[in-house]
A and B are shown apart, each in its own frame.
Chain A
């Protein structure tokens, strides 16, 4: 027994070493940097220790804008994408013909390159010297005024970003939910049918509770994913996210490290720790809610 457990630890060493060097140590380091004022990674020097970095970041209008953008993105896209994915999955589950075909169609965005999708959205939404973009042409066809989706009002830009995000995260959710639905034993539905249960009641009182663990999984990972959004915004608005007013928290961290205004690892570390605290809080709440729901 003693020997075996020694062996067990021995086998775990490579994984532990790898995770320790590339995950745990950087995490710890970021935490340390976030308290070191004016840290310079080249000279490994800093002026002092304190909460100044946090104070700076929390008073930076760009960071506050990034938080606002991220929160709006999370609040809109997570419920919307999960809800629509659920509707589509239930629909897919109830059809026989063309099921595989539609499943493939819905899964395509998942395997398509983010930037390629960004290009398509450009064609749909971007105003250029030659065209107002496909969406504007449609709006004009119905007698509306064209809107500058990419460089125009804040709500229009936010709409495009949310639309894009929902569209890009949906395939994975549909994949998970269709397999969850398919794994519900057909006998439950037969039993409900024999009792004359309406479709709505079957969905609400049998299907939903049966797949609720998967829904919670998608909501939790959805929240985490949306808080870490960055590439989506870049794909649509380019790399100057601060000037476009569409930066996200992760975008802000990146800019602080490498962007035009970059070279401030201390500020970036503080912003990263703030993001970490937000995600941790939301995930804890989610987990508690799902646990209460399950028991």
Chain B
């Protein structure tokens, strides 16, 4: 099921009287192709949960339209939209067994859709098998681990065969190990069922690793939509470049003069077609190359060995980060000595942003 958001806007009245309304979701327009896994990504308070609730139907938009395929569902109540929702805290009914929890949505079917007890049990078992919890059916939620509860919540959302599956911060209550496992699990379930799935997260790694497409949001405004790798490689503004990637991008103050980029008066890179101005320079950690006569001179702080790579931590007067982190292949380990390191940069890993607007400046 294709999901289309058309100028969707949601404003909430301000709690303090007299102040302007708060716009949680500002004029969202994008299309989610059928059968894809979409990550809504942004820091807390950026409106991603509100967007999910709008799609779910728990809240109504102030203006704009929402389409599921060719159906206008903007003002439909959630139950007729055919959405399955997994809540951040799972919202499993604590007094019901796993089986009864999964069967709960089926008990609401009326008229011709009404199922017999046996049919409901069969459907619940089918959903449980999909998430591999069929041996836990008689347990109560309190007797399950976090990961198992998560699976029950997904099974309960899937049992009524929704057209769209919505996940609100699905991994935030799990420990790091389980998080890795579960995100692969979500990917597998999504690919098996082919249900259009939208999930919300503030963890960029999580979003990048399993999404077909990510929507990066900030302060109720969409910053960028695209395939995870594209967004990472071509961020449209400073916010997106800083939000994606671990370790984060290194940001410097720089100047462009005569199509040449200077950082701290050191000539770093030729940038064709850029007019003379002050810029923000974002360099990905993997964009540094160790070189004795490199353009960028940094004060070495420490070298962290991570096995496959080493991480060189250094400082530079022009950076706005606390320190510069560069990821270098560990084969060059021997060459790092003394108090200074010099780097060259890879042009494809260097992004320029306007000092004022923070929009991307492209160069040849």
Contacts and interface: CB of A to CB of B under 8 A. Distances in A.
Interface of A: 185, 187-188, 190-198, 201, 205-206, 209-210
B42 interface: no
B78 A196 contact: yes
B108 interface: yes
B48 interface: no
A195 to B, nearest CB: 4
B91 interface: yes
B58 A194 contact: yes
Given A190-B87, A191-B85, A196 B95 contact: no
B28 interface: no
Interface in B82-104: 83-85, 87-89, 91, 93-96, 104
B322 interface: no
Given A194-B58, A194-B85, A201-B108, A188 B91 contact: yes
A193 B87 CA distance: 12
B108 A197 contact: yes
Nearest to B95: A209
B85 A185 contact: no
5 contacts: A190-B85, A192-B104, A193-B58, A194-B56, A201-B107
A194 B105 CA distance: 9
Contact of B95 (A187, A192, A197, A210): A210
A188 to B, nearest CB: 5
A209 B88 CA distance: 22
Contacts of A190: 58, 85, 87, 91
A160 B132 CA distance: 61
Contacts of B21: none
Nearest to B58: A190
B202 interface: no
A191 B87 contact: yes
A206 B107 CA distance: 13
Contacts of A210: 94-95
A216 to B, nearest CB: 13
B43 to A, nearest CB: 22
B103 to A, nearest CB: 11
Nearest to A210: B95
A209 B101 CA distance: 14
Interface residues of B, number: 23
A193 to B, nearest CB: 6
Contact of B160 (A195, A205, A209): A195
B80 interface: yes
Given A185-B89, A194-B56, A194-B78, 16 more contacts: A192-B104, A193-B77, A194-B58, A194-B83, A195-B79, A195-B104, A195-B105, A196-B78, A196-B79, A196-B80, A196-B108, A197-B104, A201-B107, A201-B108, A205-B104, A209-B93
A196 B108 CA distance: 6
A210 B104 CA distance: 16
A191 B78 contact: no
Contacts of A185: 89, 91
Nearest to B56: A194
Contacts of B108: 195-198, 201
Interface string B45-71: 000000000001110000000000000
B53 to A, nearest CB: 8
A188 B93 contact: yes
A87 to B, nearest CB: 22
Q: Which of B56, B88, B108 has the most CB of A within 10 A?
A: B108
Contacts of B105: 195-196
Q: Which of B77, B91, B94, B108 has the most CB of A within 10 A?
A: B91
Contacts of A197: 79, 104, 107-108
Nearest to B109: A196
Interface in B259-286: none
Contacts of A209: 93, 95
A210 B94 CA distance: 8
A185 B88 CA distance: 12
Contacts of B85: 190-191, 194
Contacts of A206: 93
A194 B79 contact: yes
Nearest to B106: A195
Nearest to B166: A194
Nearest to A191: B91
Contact of A187 (B79, B83, B89): B89
B165 to A, nearest CB: 11
Contacts of A192: 104
Q: Which of A187, A201, A206, A209 has the most CB of B within 10 A?
A: A187
Contacts of A198: 108
A190 B94 CA distance: 15
Contacts of B78: 193-194, 196
A193 B79 contact: yes
B95 to A, nearest CB: 4
Nearest to A295: B140
Nearest to B80: A196
A187 B160 contact: no
Contacts of B160: 195
